[in-house]
Amino acid sequence: MSNTYGDWFKEQRLAAGLTQQELADAAVMTRSHISHIEAGRRMPSREDARRLDKALNTGNVLSSFLPQDDVAVADRFEDARQLEQQATVIREFALSLVPGILQTERYMRAVLSTAFPPWSEEECDRIVVTRLERAKILAAPVTPVVWVLLDEAVLRRPVGGPDVMAEQVKHIVRLVEDRRVRVHVLPYGLGAHPLQQSMLTLMWFEDQPPVAYSEAIYMAKVHDDPDLVERIQAAYHLALGDALPLKESLALLRATAKDYENHD
């Protein structure tokens, strides 16, 4: 992301003669949160920006000049990708496609092949490498803790054909069996549910406020307003309460993989 905002913010802190810790104390936030804002890794919520304006005596400049919501999808996703690498807990909801960090390479390429105009081979390779790099967070034995909520449509949509889907679903099964992730399936029979409008990622951090990331066609957004994040978390928890338990979800995943393997 552009760091014009973070650079100006740092200049104001230095001009005020404050250390990061002194400013954090005055604005009621953590020093590392100040550091992330200055480095361009995070943007403050509007409430954070208001408190920072007050602590730095900058009027309403930090509040007024927060980056606008219509930032390009690629930039917004880069924000989310960086946050994903810092998260200690990640909760995913997928409406129609397997979440990126759980995707196999062949599944990724099948998803990318649906673009029109088509991606070039070089562009596809770049995106695949980026997603495979993201998935390396699962190589760590514990952190981040990853919970995944899948609409059953994710399992029934034969992306790339039966062979690709069998491999993809078995990959998820292995992650669950290894206790690296928890997966719960929202069955078709449930009908409407609170998360059916878009995919969603919730992230928690050791020393930063939680955020939510939502994505739909040609649109993506990182949400860090505390009230909105809390409402999104509540919707996730409501949907999770209606999902199949872990044991039943795992049984459905295994049966689905077997069905794809036996497909004529």
Question: What pLDDT is stored for residue 138 in this prediction?
Answer: 92
Q: How close are the terminal C-alpha atoms of the chain, in Å?
A: 47
Question: What pLDDT is stored for residue 70 in this prediction?
Answer: 39
* DSSP three-state, residue 151: strand
Question: What pLDDT is stored for residue 67 in this prediction?
Answer: 64
Give pLDDT < 50 ranges for the chain.
Answer: 1, 69-75
Q: How far is CA 103 from CA 56, 128, 222, 247, in A?
A: 45, 10, 21, 21
Is this prediction's pTM over 0.85? Answer: no
Q: How far apart are CA 129 and CA 105, in angstroms?
A: 9
Q: How many CB atoms lie within 10 A of CB 148?
A: 23
Using H for helix, E for strand and C for coil, what is the string for 47-96? HHHHHHHHHHCCCCHHHHCCCCCCCCHHHHHHHHHHHHHHCCEEEEEECC
For residues 113 and 55, the answer to whether their CB atoms sit within 8 Å is no
Question: What pLDDT is stored for residue 264 in this prediction?
Answer: 63
- Cα angle 23, 26, 29; round to 5: 75
Strand order in the sheet with 145-151: 181-186, 145-151, 89-94, 199-204, 211-216, 219-223
Question: What pLDDT is stored for residue 134 in this prediction?
Answer: 86
Question: What pLDDT is stored for residue 75 in this prediction?
Answer: 47
Question: What pLDDT is stored for residue 129 in this prediction?
Answer: 85
